[in-house]
Amino acid sequence: VLDTNVLLSLYEYTAESREEVLTALGQVSERLWMPYQVGLEFVRGRRGVLESRKRVLGDASKSVNTKLTAARNAIIEAKETVRSQLQKYARVPTEIEALEQLVSERAVDEHLAVYRDAFKAHLDMLKSGHDLTPVNVDKADPILPRVAELYGDRVGLQPDDQVLQQRLDEAVAFRFPNQIPPGFKDLGKGTPLNAAGDFLIWEEVIEHAALLPEASRRVLFVSNDAKEDWYDISNGKQRPWPALLDEIQRRASAELRLETPPDFYAGVGEYLNADLADDTYEEIRRVSETFTPPALDDSTVVTAKTAVKVAPPGGLPISAYRSAGLVSPAVRSTMESVAPSDRLAQWWLIGVTAQLQRREVAEEEPRVDIAAAVRGSDAPAPDWKPGTVLPSGEWIHRESSWIAPWFLDILGSAPSADRGILSALASEQAAENQRPTS
């Protein structure tokens, strides 16, 4: 049984390592079984993994530029400090000229350019080393069918509502408060359904193990999760909680073994002769140690369909308004409106300023998946208008784009300055969403 985080790690690996891992999993394909809860979390979490990597690399680029700019300013300020002392105490005025020549702004820029180019090259390498983007998941995810092929019909059935409710009640009301593994560390993590994910998987594993032939009731559970709700880490040692082994033995007469992905893939390579390179093992180890699964609550993704039902957090629309450089009272009024009809515009501006890195994204800020315009030959919906409805000087790619009707309404009420900013944001977002993988 592979935990959700093991499957989602496939989106973290480089293309070469991912192919080797999928081939290795093929060696044990007939022995794989997927709990329904794992499948649910896997399908919902794929895009979030890719968005997280994209956001982290983008933040790294911004951080590097900020630090190099600060370094430049610090060097210039240091030069001015020395210059002022030379003006007061130096006997030879040419020393000031030598200092100005050595630490001119041009000289500083040339020196820092070496570091800037090197840092950029490393970050660009990391971006190009991964062939997947969020757009891949939306259009033609290459991993999902490979995973489906590995499992075939060896996937758990969806629990009915009554069983699900009973399990949630048991987890939240009884097991978690008494710190009964697994999953008690997730208490308070969003909704009860989110908090109980590990326990729901555990229940399915026990239920399935009890159905296996008696001589084959051995479960190997592979997970990146090494928290205290799976492992006893007292006395400086780490071992699976004995309570887990006891419970599966008592309820299913089965044996349990927990392993991390590095140990699991090492075993696959050693005993089944799977061809995994040393670099792939290292990548598996690194991802296993650092992987953080994305939030899986549907409410954390705001779409065009759900936007009108969810009011943005207070102050967030205005923050997006300011970060975009908008100034008109008309657009500000839309951002401050409490009318559900204005929420689509509010959420779009929140989402596009985050996507294009116009502002810092708050830790608990929902992800937004709303486009104001798209590039392509076909309209996303019958009411979208072709780009030719806008003047040629205002909208690029007029012959190959489609514009949402609600966005046309915003443009119609905005003065020219804000109209240009909004058009540029929508156009840049459309280009970003269409950008092919490296």
Task: Specify whether 421 is located in the same domain as 313.
Answer: yes
Residue 168 resides in a domain: yes
Nearest alpha-carbon partner for 301 in 51, 35, 13, 17: 51
**Paired strand residues for 369:** 303
Task: Specify whether 311 is located in the same domain as 234.
Answer: no
Task: Specify whether 413 is located in the same domain as 322.
Answer: yes
131: left (phi over 0), alpha (psi -120 to 50) or beta: alpha
pLDDT band at 130 (very low <50, low <70, confident <90, very high): low
pLDDT band at 296 (very low <50, low <70, confident <90, very high): very low
pLDDT band at 438 (very low <50, low <70, confident <90, very high): very low
pLDDT band at 437 (very low <50, low <70, confident <90, very high): very low
Which residue range(s) make up the domain with 108?
Answer: 57-135
Task: Specify whether 190 is located in the same domain as 324.
Answer: no
Beta strands of 234-357 (E only): which ranges? 239-240, 255-259, 301-303
Nearest alpha-carbon partner for 355 in 133, 140, 141, 190: 133
Task: Specify whether 261 is located in the same domain as 193.
Answer: yes
What is the share, in percent, of the chain residues with pLDDT greater than 70?
91
Q: What does the pLDDT look like over 266-287, one tens digit per residue? A: 888 777 777 788 888 888 888 8
The whole-angstrom separation of Cα 337 and Cα 374 is 26
Who's near 57: CB < 8 A, 6+ residues apart? Answer: 123, 126, 127
Predicted confidence at residue 7, as pLDDT, reads 94
Beta strands of 185-297 (E only): which ranges? 218-222, 231-232, 239-240, 255-259
pLDDT band at 118 (very low <50, low <70, confident <90, very high): very high
Pairing status of strand 231-232 against strand 239-240: antiparallel
Under 8 Å between Cβ of 204 and 156: yes
For residue 299, pLDDT over 50 is answered with no
Structure tokens at 142: 């290459």
Residue 13 resides in a domain: yes
Task: Specify whether 17 is located in the same domain as 157.
Answer: yes
Residue 140 resides in a domain: no
pLDDT band at 346 (very low <50, low <70, confident <90, very high): very high
**What mean pLDDT comes out for the span 83-96?**
80
Task: Specify whether 406 is located in the same domain as 277.
Answer: no
Nearest alpha-carbon partner for 163 in 187, 199, 137: 199
Residue ending a domain, choose from 135, 164, 198? 135
For residue 168, pLDDT over 60 is answered with yes
Residue ending a domain, choose from 290, 308, 342? 290
Q: How many domains does the chain have?
A: 3
Predicted confidence at residue 136, as pLDDT, reads 64
Residue 142 resides in a domain: no
Residue ending a domain, choose from 80, 107, 135? 135
Q: What does the pLDDT look like over 420-436, one tens digit per residue? A: 899 889 988 888 776 54
Side-chain-facing half-sphere of 334: CA atoms under 13 Å: 26
Q: What is the DSSP string of 361-425?
A: PPTTPPEEE--SEEESSS-SSTT-EEGGGS-TTT-SSGGGEEE-HHHHHHHHHS-HHHHHHHHHH
The whole-angstrom separation of Cα 169 and Cα 264 is 33
**Paired strand residues for 155:** 34
**What mean pLDDT comes out for the span 374-399?**
80
Taking the complete model, does pTM exceed 0.75, yes or no?
no
Beta strands of 180-265 (E only): which ranges? 218-222, 231-232, 239-240, 255-259
Predicted confidence at residue 129, as pLDDT, reads 65
For residue 139, pLDDT over 80 is answered with no
Under 8 Å between Cβ of 342 and 334: yes
Q: What are phi and psi of 129, to 5 degrees?
A: -70, -15
What is the share, in percent, of the chain residues with pLDDT greater than 90?
32
Task: Specify whether 384 is located in the same domain as 316.
Answer: yes
pLDDT band at 293 (very low <50, low <70, confident <90, very high): low
For residue 109, pLDDT over 70 is answered with yes
Predicted confidence at residue 254, as pLDDT, reads 94
Residue 124 resides in a domain: yes
Task: Specify whether 261 is located in the same domain as 282.
Answer: yes
Side chain identity at 371, as an amino acid letter?
Answer: A
Average per-residue pLDDT in the chain?
A: 85
Residue 141 resides in a domain: no
Task: Specify whether 175 is located in the same domain as 33.
Answer: yes
Residue 25 resides in a domain: yes
Q: 15-19, 168-172, 399-403: which range is least confident on average?
A: 399-403
For residue 347, pLDDT over 90 is answered with yes
**What mean pLDDT comes out for the span 206-215?**
93
Task: Specify whether 170 is located in the same domain as 106.
Answer: no
Predicted confidence at residue 95, as pLDDT, reads 81
SS3 263: helix
Predicted confidence at residue 152, as pLDDT, reads 93
For residue 394, pLDDT over 80 is answered with no
Task: Specify whether 152 is located in the same domain as 80.
Answer: no
Residue 143 resides in a domain: no
Beta strands of 155-241 (E only): which ranges? 218-222, 231-232, 239-240
